[in-house]
């Protein structure tokens, strides 16, 4: 039984270590634009059954319960919390937040279409709107080009991009921002750099304009903040540390029992 105790407690320590990794990543991204926090889910492992429920006793009656020893726990999944974060007013014309469902579509240089909630847009050397990145110039999809002489940029709640050019009294529409929706956004694969990619679990994207077919509205001059809640994460951190320590003590207790049994056998 002591060897089983060591193994069972060790699985608990490993599970808590993995949960600590999730919490650490959440806290590290507390200021990351549109970051969605992760949550570790757990499941119990196999059981060693000595007596099954419903066994016949000496009097021919069925027993109401059995005797089963569990073999520990493991992480069953790390779930992405896709709830919307709060809005931060930046006063920058190319900062756009999504209020509601949907993801911006961006074209990766590899040819793959990726998705993001981070709307910190920039203009590249060709005048095209790109997702803000110091390493890769990923174009917004569909592509939108801003004239070199544009003096003002306006993005409406339904995704229309207008510019005012020198000498013009009226705004001119330069393009339309589209949003992609997924039946299971938690099934998207995190790629880093605030990007997601489609998977079989997420399903295929449904493209539409903002405020159509359930897609959210766009808010210019705002960015969506991380949905990490520092107080909740700190409480979770303390609970996880305590759980790790308790499992560690179980390992020590199991080891001490093994030593006692080994000494008794020598007598």
Helices (H) and strands (E) counted in the chain, each on its own, are 2, 20
* Prediction pTM value: 0.86
Is residue 257 within 8 Å of residue 9, measured between CB atoms? no
Is residue 126 classed as helix, strand or coil in its secondary structure?
coil
Residue 267's pLDDT is what? 62
Q: Return the residue matching tokens 């759980």.
A: 243
Flag residues of the chain having pLDDT under 70: 1-2, 267
Residue 153's pLDDT is what? 95
d(CA 118, CA 123): 15
Residue 174's pLDDT is what? 95
- Is the alpha carbon torsion for 250, 251, 256, 261 positive or negative? positive
Closest CA to 35 of 195, 220, 242, 217: 195
Is residue 89 within 8 Å of residue 219, measured between CB atoms? no
Residue 3's pLDDT is what? 78
How far apart, in Å, do the first and last CA atoms of the chain sit?
21
């Amino acid at each position: 039984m002591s060897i089983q105790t060591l193994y069972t407690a060790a699985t608990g320590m490993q599970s808590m270590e993995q949960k600590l990794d999730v919490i650490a990543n959440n806290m590290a991204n507390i200021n990351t634009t549109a970051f969605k926090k992760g949550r570790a889910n757990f499941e119990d492992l196999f059981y060693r059954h000595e007596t099954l429920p419903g066994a016949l006793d000496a009097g021919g009656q069925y027993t109401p319960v059995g005797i089963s020893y569990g073999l520990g726990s493991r992480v069953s999944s790390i779930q992405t919390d896709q709830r919307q974060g709060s809005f931060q007013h930046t006063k920058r014309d190319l900062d756009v937040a999504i209020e509601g469902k949907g993801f911006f579509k961006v074209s990766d240089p590899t040819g793959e279409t990726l998705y993001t909630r981070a709307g910190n847009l920039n203009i590249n050397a060709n005048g095209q709107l790109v997702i803000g990145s110091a390493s890769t110039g990923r174009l917004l999809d569909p592509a939108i080009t801003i004239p070199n002489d544009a003096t003002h940029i306006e993005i409406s709640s339904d995704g229309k991009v207008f510019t005012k050019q020198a000498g013009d009294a009226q705004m001119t529409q330069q393009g339309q921002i589209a949003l992609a929706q997924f039946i299971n956004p938690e099934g998207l694969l995190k790629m880093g750099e605030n990007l997601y990619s489609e998977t079989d679990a997420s399903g295929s994207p449904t493209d539409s304009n903002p405020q159509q077919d359930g897609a959210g509205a766009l808010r210019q001059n705002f960015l969506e903040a991380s949905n990490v809640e520092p107080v909740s994460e700190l409480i979770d951190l303390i609970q996880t540390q305590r759980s790790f320590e308790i499992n560690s003590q179980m390992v020590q207790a199991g080891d001490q029992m093994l030593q006692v049994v080994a000494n008794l056998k020598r007598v």
